Amino acid sequence: MKRKYSLEFCVPFLLVFILLQVGWFIYKLVIMPDEGCHKELTLSVCTILVLLALLWIFTSKMSRQNKILEENNRKLSELDRMKTEFLANVSHELRTPLTVIMGYSELLEERLSKEEDETNLKFVQTVHRKSEDLLSLINDLIDFSRIESGKLELRLSLFTLEEVISETVEELATNVQKKGHNVQVNYGSTPLWLLADRGKIKQIAVNLLQNAIKYTPFNGHITVRTYMQGDMCCLEVEDDGVGIPEDEIKHIYQPFKQADSSYNKKYEGFGLGLAITKSLVQSHNGSIRVRSEPGKGSLFIVSLPREKNV
């Protein structure tokens, strides 16, 4: 395969060659100003002029290429902005009628439960459950569009990480029971105080625990741990689920990307959960890392700055 040299690679060598020619010209002119060197000096001057012309051609091409790249970057930025706005607008427009559907389905559930109409009650419960799933996906799109557009706002308050984890585990208890999982929660001996956006920290915990529930087969084991490490509050969510291949770990935080293409058929979702989680963690000056082995499960570790003035 032939190697292609870019203009940026050629110009420095051309400049060095021109400088050498100029140096040679000055040396001949000063050290040996006899008439015998006239032809050599003339040749040197012509060579320098040719090289300067080539340099001008190269720089002109580079300038045109830079303008094309700038224009392409501008178009890509505009397309990215339009995509973000489209996601935000569509998500908002979908959420409004979906909220109405969920409200009416709840009323129907209450009425059918009183009438003891089991068949129709199951249908309505399915509608309500799927509406909740769709609302969760829409909320992910809205959160992602806010992060992409830089409009993510943090409302800081003082709270403990333990109380957020306790609420999260309690709210997801139904999902845990449906799959027969055993969830164990281990808290450290010292309360972990955070000065952060409580809603965003809870969203981080919900996303990690939901992923553990989703990607762990029935009757699995999930462990949630909190502890202090130096000046950081640490949250661990470990499962014995399907795991993530090593070559896929670097892709799991990409938007609309799940750990493996086969997951797209088996598991629901846009693949935004971990992308949003990482952005929320980083917005709190924290970090997230993962250890995983296919067939043995995954361990996600989130580290957040501890509030010392408590």
Task: Write out the DSSP string of 77-107.
Answer: HHHHHHHHHHHHHHHHHHHHHHHHHHHHHHH
The span from the CA of 239 to the CA of 216, in Å, is: 7
The answer to whether the CB of 287 falls within 8 A of the CB of 218 is no
- Please state, in angstroms and rounded to a whole number, the distance separating the CA atoms of residues 59 and 11: 8
Choose the most confident range, by mean pLDDT, from 43-52, 256-265, 270-279.
270-279
Grade residue 197 by pLDDT with cuts at 50, 70 and 90.
very high
Q: pTM (2 decimals)? A: 0.66
Average pLDDT value over all residues in the chain: 82
pLDDT at 34 over 60: no
Beta strands in the chain (DSSP E): 156-160, 182-186, 193-197, 221-229, 232-239, 287-293, 297-305
| Distance of alpha carbon 239 from alpha carbon 290, whole angstroms | 12
How large is the average pLDDT for residues 280-286?
A: 95
Rounded Cα distance between 123 and 103, Å, is 15
Angle of CA points 176, 194, 235, to nearest 5°? 40
> Using 50, 70 and 90 to split pLDDT, how confident is the model at 2?
very low
For 56-113, the pLDDT digits (tens) are 777 778 788 888 888 888 888 777 777 777 766 777 777 778 888 888 888 888 888 8
Q: What is the pLDDT of residue 95?
A: 77
